[in-house]
Structure 1
Amino acid sequence: MMNKRHIVVFSGGSAANNLVDVFGKVAEDKECSLSYIIPISDNGGSSSELIRVFGGPGIGDVRSRLVRLIPEDPSSPETTAVKTLFNHRLSPDSTQARHEWLDIVESRHLLWTSIPSPKRELIRSFLNTINLEIVKRVRPTSSFNFQSASVGNLFLTGARLFSGSFESAIYLLGAITGVPSNINVIPAINSNFSHHISAGLQDGTVITGQNAISHPSAPSAPTPATLTTSSSAANLLQEEETISPMTKHARTLSKELTEHDTIEDANLPGSLPTLRKQYIAFTKTHTSDLPSRIERIWYINPYGQEIRPAPNPKVLESLESASAVIYSIGSLYTSIVPCLVLKGVGEKIRGSGVRYKILILNGSLDRETRAAGCEFTARDFIGAIAAACNGGEVREEEWGMYVTHVIYLEGEGTPRVEREVLGRAGVECVRIYGRKRDGEGEEGGMLYDGTALAQALEAIIGGGKRGVVDRSRRNTLGISGVAG
């Protein structure tokens, strides 16, 4: 059983990574252990290629958090080198990436320079495991694309395939890199299989796959083309003009299924093509708004049918022993909600005696929370969290069972906070200091000050006077970014 003084953080990868030092400081000051619950439904980036060829969970966010937790030690070239290795991405050019990968697995790459031989050979053994599996799966119809591949993702996949256990792979990476033993990185679902999500919009649209929901992109490689003669192509074009849109969609889907079934990979024949494509290259900014607001998120099987999987037992165990739950910044519907809709999670949050349930409101809005010109407010964020936990809409007066506090920033681009409405619902609002986001992004918004956020969290969890922070303190924890 975990320590009763325990903090559970629901988060995704890149955005919440900027708050890791804050959460670590709060846990240390409060003498608490700390658990991060991380979703495994991401099917974009280099994870999409690993899923296409090997199946298995989307491991990018788990790897990202583990590497971020490696202790900083400027006096240790080994620690820095190991962290750099597991954070390294191969070249965006697929041919150059393949050559770079061979240099790594054959111990010729400069990344190995400061890593001592025993540790280097241990790491290489799992990289060679995944390399052997890649070579074994090469077929005329398909081969692994190393473009922008994460070395850490490849290591975790090699360790998972070797041990047959995702959690063993996580343990191994944490042990090799020195992740503190009082910090747990827990995948929301402990599985050797892929788990995908769909989003239902208010206008009835269904979007399949996390990549398409949060940052849609074209597949990184075209599907095999079907050859036709010029005359048959002309006949098809003439026919296309007379058939209905529904028939066109059905024929397109059938064609995609047929084409993908000619590719030998780790996915079941007949499964949805959108879940079996490479989405290696994408951008998280400058994406178009959704046509309608997201109404619900659910898990699907490979054929698109709704399922409700059980969470990793360690998720329920951590909630059972938690004194505080934190919903971190990040993508609301693809980072936080996929953890909350799992069977039994909402019930644990509602009824396990967790005293503090704290939402750190995003400092900006993104594609998921700015749909069809309608911007989310704090009320929308809390309603979405409560509905995900409950399995359906929750009355405002019951929101306090899932969120007791909201920490937020004020400034251009930040979500509006309805203090009076939330106060009547039993949710306390705590405004803290932040700074304006820098950079070329079109979304604007504000960034959290690390010291102010840590003070606010400690005041809430400690039960002290809330809502009062020292605005004169500088940001000493190096927060560099927030995803809306």
Structure 2
Amino acid sequence: MTSPNRGIVVISGGSAANNLVDVFDAIRESKECSLSYVIPISDNGGSSSELIRIFGGPGIGDVRSRLVRLIPDSPVNPEKKAIKSLFNHRLPAEALAASQQWLSIVDGTSVLWNAITPAKKELIRSFFNLLNLEILKRARPPSSTFDFTSASVGNLFLTGARLFSGSFESAIYLLGSICGVDSDNVRVIPAINSNFSHHISATLADGTIIVGQNSISHPSESTPLGQAHKTRRPSLLLADGDDFEDTDPSDLSDTVYEEDHLPGSLATLRNKNIAFSKAKNEDLPSRISRIWYINPYGQEIRPPANPRVLEALNDAQAIIYSIGSLYTSIIPAIVLRGVGRSILASPARHKILILNGSLDRETGPPSQAFSASDFVEAITRAGEESRGSRSARSQLHNDSHSATENTRSNHTIPYNSYVTHILHLDGPGTPYVDRERLTEMGIETLRLYGRKITTNADGQEVVIGMQYDSKALIQALEVVLGKKGDAMVRGGVGSGLGRRNTLDPPRREKR
């Protein structure tokens, strides 16, 4: 009896990587193995922020979006489509309309239930009713009430299931079972298995500290830089905002704490972050140099990774760092205790970084835009910090450029133990791929052709980035993983690929 093939592990966030689900599923089928998605739970923006404010618990939005994206399409089964629509649905952006629509879902009269069979409808409704009861129990009008504005129905269900079972992973299993996700072959694994909130902070190269994932990646309009503390040590962040001498004592007496937030916890972690823009954000004043987890008081903690994450990494034939925000989607999973060691010890021969098709707030500002090697160095330093490396931690406290030079002079950090291959696009807005530096690191690169992403600015169409072509990306991953053999790689562009110039051959390390 032959042993099953080792699995593929994809480390990713939510919305961006959802566009590649079909690609990863095609690779899983071609390799005849399992597929594990490792997803951070540190997001405190959108409707997740309101659930965290009232109930505490992990940031569940990215987990929910991946589970719902994995619901198989079935033209002969309208119920699957209806369940997908239900869990993907967002309540209206106006408070009264949102509350009324929520009540119609709870009492079973909403049109969202029309194509769902009574058995599943009543099962799902039971968790909505439980959550609604918990919301009413926690209500303290007028100071503290739940805001249903733009709430994700899937997030509400996951929270109700978690409160009922007392287990986040049980809630994930229940939602996956109801949605018909093939959990034997495809697993959605939270990076941390916890019923508690786990927040992150970012240290910038100029010493600024930004608290909370939403403030790092796409802050609300009212706080464009989030809760920033210039040159304050991570262990000395002050709860409830700025220094006491800048605080009116009368303001402190009016501070309201929800039942799931400890007195004295950081104000920015208790804020509503329902409304924010992913399209327009001011640039960070300098590069992000470090991501670290904090407790409710802003003190640094080093939480362990979910044991199932380590198990998946320890039995992987390939590890893929997917597209998405580098410092809020990828790094929060890598920096957890145990992950760096498991990546290094993993039997995976291929550790593939799929480079983003455009730069974002986290990999700027434009004057200091990240190159491909900067992405690799950030992943490597996070892995080394996960292992408790003091040298990696000390480098991360320095200026970004000087840290890079220190890293390059220190040959103990094994870059190609964390990343062996980079798949990338080439076009307007894409990160610069410094091939010579990557070759020095022992990393192979594979260039793909994609489609341009455009936006309308002042009546003119402007290219802001590139988007991967699914077929080209599947072919590239198959080339790297060995599906089609070395002959195709040696043949170069267009050799046996079946379509024009979909990819360039890998550039191998100089001997």
TM-score scaled to structure 1, two decimals? Answer: 0.89
- Give, as a single letter, the amino acid of the residue that structure 2 aligns with 1:425: M
Q: What is the CA deviation profile of residues 45-85 of structure 1, one whole-angstrom value per residue up to 9, with x for unaligned ones?
A: 00000000000000000000000000011222101000000
Identify which of 460, 467, 470 aligns with 1:450. Answer: 470
Distance 1:256 1:382, change over 3 A: farther
Kept in 2, the 8 Å contact 1:3–1:321? The answer is no
C-alpha RMSD of the superposition: 2.2
Q: What is the CA deviation profile of residues 148-200 of structure 1, one whole-angstrom value per residue up to 9, with x for unaligned ones?
A: 00000000000000000000000000000101121000000000000000000
Aligned residues: 448
Q: Is 1:201 equivalent to 2:217 in the alignment?
A: no
SS at match of 2:96: helix
Kept in 2, the 8 Å contact 1:365–1:414? The answer is yes
Please show how residues 247-262 of structure 1 align to structure 2 within 5 Å.
249-252=243-246, 258=252, 261-262=255-256
Kept in 2, the 8 Å contact 1:257–1:272? The answer is no
Give the equivalent residue in structure 2 for 1:224.
Answer: none
SS at match of 1:36: strand
Please show how residues 1-150 of structure 1 align to structure 2 within 5 Å.
3-140=4-141, 141-150=143-152
Kept in 2, the 8 Å contact 1:219–1:277? The answer is no
- Give, as a single letter, the amino acid of the residue that structure 1 aligns with 2:454: D
Please show how residues 169-188 of structure 1 align to structure 2 within 5 Å.
169-181=171-183, 182-188=185-191
Give the equivalent residue in structure 1 for 2:499.
Answer: 472
> 1:445 and 1:52 mapped to 2: Cα distance?
35
Distance 1:363 1:260, change over 3 A: farther
Q: Which moved more, 1:69-78 or 1:357-366?
A: 69-78
- Give, as a single letter, the amino acid of the residue that structure 1 aligns with 2:182: P
Kept in 1, the 8 Å contact 2:421–2:446? The answer is yes
RCO greater where, 1 or 2, for CA within 8 Å and sep 6 or more?
1
SS at match of 1:32: coil
Task: State percent identity of aligned pairs.
Answer: 61
Q: Is 1:438 equivalent to 2:454 in the alignment?
A: yes
SS at match of 2:135: helix
> 1:195 and 1:283 mapped to 2: Cα distance?
23
Q: What is the CA deviation profile of residues 330-359 of structure 1, one whole-angstrom value per residue up to 9, with x for unaligned ones?
A: 000000000000001011111222210000
Kept in 2, the 8 Å contact 1:77–1:114? The answer is yes
Give the equivalent residue in structure 2 for 1:459.
Answer: 479
TM-score scaled to structure 2, two decimals? Answer: 0.84
Kept in 1, the 8 Å contact 2:452–2:463? The answer is no
Give the equivalent residue in structure 2 for 1:223.
Answer: none
Give the equivalent residue in structure 2 for 1:419.
Answer: 435
Distance 1:253 1:279, change over 3 A: farther
SS at match of 1:401: helix
Distance 1:248 1:194, change over 3 A: closer
Gaps of 5+ in 1: 221-246, 476-484
SS at match of 1:75: coil
Gaps of 5+ in 2: 224-240, 386-391, 396-406, 503-511
Q: Is 1:217 equivalent to 2:217 in the alignment?
A: no
Distance 1:344 1:254, change over 3 A: farther
Q: What is the CA deviation profile of residues 412-451 of structure 1, one whole-angstrom value per residue up to 9, with x for unaligned ones?
A: 1000101121112110000011010134487811000000
> 2:335 and 2:82 mapped to 1: Cα distance?
38
> 1:356 and 1:31 mapped to 2: Cα distance?
17
The alpha carbon displacement at 1:473 in A equals 6.4
Give the equivalent residue in structure 1 for 2:160.
Answer: 158
SS at match of 1:353: coil
Q: Is 1:383 equivalent to 2:377 in the alignment?
A: yes
Kept in 1, the 8 Å contact 2:455–2:463? The answer is no
The alpha carbon displacement at 1:472 in A equals 2.5
Give the equivalent residue in structure 2 for 1:315.
Answer: 309
Q: What is the CA deviation profile of residues 446-484 of structure 1, one whole-angstrom value per residue up to 9, with x for unaligned ones?
A: 000000001111111117334756473699xxxxxxxxx
Please show how residues 250-289 of structure 1 align to structure 2 within 5 Å.
250-252=244-246, 258=252, 261-289=255-283
Give the equivalent residue in structure 1 for 2:400.
Answer: none
Identify which of 368, 374, 379 aligns with 2:368. Answer: 374
